[in-house]
């Protein structure tokens, strides 16, 4: 999305239209103030540009489906300075930070300073378009956030999709949500769509999912890493138990031993469970537990 720069003398109506549409770096007519951005010389325009990437976000109101926004401040002036951007979101959306403060060096070419911001919609957020607003002095950047309906969770659907992960540890390059994100493309393993434990050569590891309410479960599918360069027989899970959490604790409902396949589906007596987890006792490289996706189904 381009950054629109409007002259200070731009018509107010034009500035308002632009503000409603996109990234805006503009100093609208001041009301009595002699002008000049804080830290700048009198009469000088604001020298920090504010932008957001992407310009719009799509969001699913489930624990493992946050959206990421990069907020950037760029000092376009010739004096180093500090700047603060305030971040707010329409309720019930939440942000991982509400202020972005940074020292902004004056360099040529300009040096953008960015920070990632996680945007979340809690379960039950009605579908619709919400706003994340960034404010830096007189600048306003509005980011529309489109909240979709959550995926269906009826009989036969994957009850684990997007729900809260359980992990005994997680390798720093991965996210515990990677095995619950619906992405089963093994070629994208290195882009974090999977869970990798963080305790090499130490077992057991546990990985699972907490359901939002007790459900009848009867089938668990485990996709372990199985790409062309990293086949399951060398890098996948080998030995694990499938456990379900009922009112009186965890119960093992299936055991898998000596596995070399990329996909293993186990079925068991229908059980009312609030969570499902794998307890991994060994892997084919005797080092890391790698789950591309965990799927849970039932009535």
Q: Which two tokens stand for residue 137?
A: 């002095």
Beta carbons of 119 and 67 less than 8 angstroms apart: yes
Least separation in angstroms between CB 33 and Ca ion: 52
Q: Closer CB to Ca ion, residue 183 or residue 271?
A: 183
Q: Are 171 and 288 within 8 A, CB to CB?
A: yes
CB of 195 to Ca ion, least distance (A): 8
Binding residue (CB under 5 A) for Ca ion from 96, 183, 227, 230:
183
Under rule CB under 5 A, how many of the chain's residues touch Ca ion? 4
Residue 122's φ and ψ, nearest 5 degrees, are -65, 155
The span of 161-169, 175-183, 242-250, 268-276 binding Ca ion (CB under 5 A) equals 175-183
Q: Which stretch binds Ca ion (CB under 5 A): 74-82, 144-152, 232-240, 285-293?
A: 285-293
Minimum distance of Ca ion from residue 281's CB (angstroms): 22
Query: Cis peptide before 92, with omega less than 30 degrees from 0?
Result: yes
| Of 49 and 293, CB closest to Ca ion | 293
Which residue carries 């930070």 as its tokens?
97
d(CA 124, CA 233): 41
Among 49, 163, 205, 293, binds Ca ion (CB under 5 A): 293
DSSP class of residue 62?
Answer: S
* Least separation in angstroms between CB 290 and Ca ion: 11
Count of beta carbons in the 10 Å neighbourhood of residue 117: 23
Neighbours of 245 (CB within 10 A): 19
Q: Which of 126, 113, 58, 115 is nearest to 87 (CA)?
A: 115
Using CB under 5 A, which of the segments 1-9, 46-54, 132-140, 180-188 binds Ca ion? 180-188
Q: How far is the CB of 102 from Ca ion (least distance, A)?
A: 33
169/183 with CB nearer Ca ion: 183
Q: Which is nearer to Ca ion, 181 or 219 (CB)?
A: 181
Under the binding rule (CB under 5 A), the answer on residue 206 touching Ca ion is no
The region, left, alpha or beta by phi > 0 then psi within -120 to 50, assigned to residue 241 is: beta
- Judged by CB under 5 A, the residue of 181, 197, 226, 241 near Ca ion is 181
- Residue 144 · residue 56 · CB < 8 Å: yes
3-state SS, 76-99, equals CCCCCEEEEEEEEECCCCEECCCE
193 is a contact residue toward Ca ion (CB under 5 A): yes
Q: Give strand ranges (E) for 149-204.
A: 164-167, 195-196
Nearer Cβ to Ca ion (27/176): 176
Which one, 50 or 294, has the nearer CB to Ca ion?
294
Instruction: Name which of 23 and 193 has its Cβ closer to Ca ion.
Output: 193
Question: Distance between CA 264 and CA 244 in Å, rounded?
Answer: 17
Shortest spacing between CB 62 and Ca ion, in angstroms: 14
> In 3-state terms, what secondary structure has residue 241?
strand
Question: Shortest gap between Cβ of 54 and Ca ion (angstroms)?
Answer: 22
Q: In the bound complex, what is the minimum distance in angstroms from residue 123's beta carbon to Ca ion? A: 20
Residue nearest to Ca ion (CB): 193
Give the interface with Ca ion as residue ranges (CB under 5 A). Answer: 181, 183, 193, 293
């Amino acid at each position: 999305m381009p950054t629109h720069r409007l002259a200070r003398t731009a018509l107010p109506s034009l500035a308002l239209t632009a503000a409603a549409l996109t990234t805006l770096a503009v100093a609208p007519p001041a009301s009595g103030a002699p002008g000049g951005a804080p830290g700048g010389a009198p009469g000088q325009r604001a020298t920090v540009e504010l932008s957001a990437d992407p310009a719009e976000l799509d969001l699913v109101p489930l624990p493992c489906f946050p959206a990421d926004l990069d907020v950037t401040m760029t000092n376009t002036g010739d004096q180093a300075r500090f700047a603060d951007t305030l971040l707010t979101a329409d309720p019930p959306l939440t942000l991982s930070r509400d202020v972005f403060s940074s020292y902004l060096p004056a360099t040529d070419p300009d040096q953008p300073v960015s920070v990632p911001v996680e945007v979340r919609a809690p379960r039950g957020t009605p579908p619709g378009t919400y706003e994340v607003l960034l404010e830096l002095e007189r600048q306003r950047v509005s980011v529309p956030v489109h909240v979709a309906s959550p995926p269906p969770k009826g009989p036969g659907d994957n009850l684990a999709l997007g729900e809260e992960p359980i992990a005994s540890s997680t390798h720093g390059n991965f996210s515990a949500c990677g095995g619950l994100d619906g992405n089963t493309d093994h070629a994208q393993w290195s882009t974090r769509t999977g869970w990798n434990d963080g305790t090499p050569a130490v077992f057991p590891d546990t990985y699972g999912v907490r359901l939002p309410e007790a459900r009848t479960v009867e089938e668990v599918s485990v996709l372990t890493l199985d790409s062309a360069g990293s086949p399951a027989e060398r890098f996948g899970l080998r030995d694990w138990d499938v456990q379900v959490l009922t009112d009186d604790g965890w119960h093992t409902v299936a055991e898998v031993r000596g596995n070399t396949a990329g996909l293993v589906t186990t079925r068991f007596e229908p059980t009312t469970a609030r969570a499902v987890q794998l307890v991994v006792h060994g892997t084919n490289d005797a080092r890391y537990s790698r789950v591309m996706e965990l799927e849970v189904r039932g009535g």
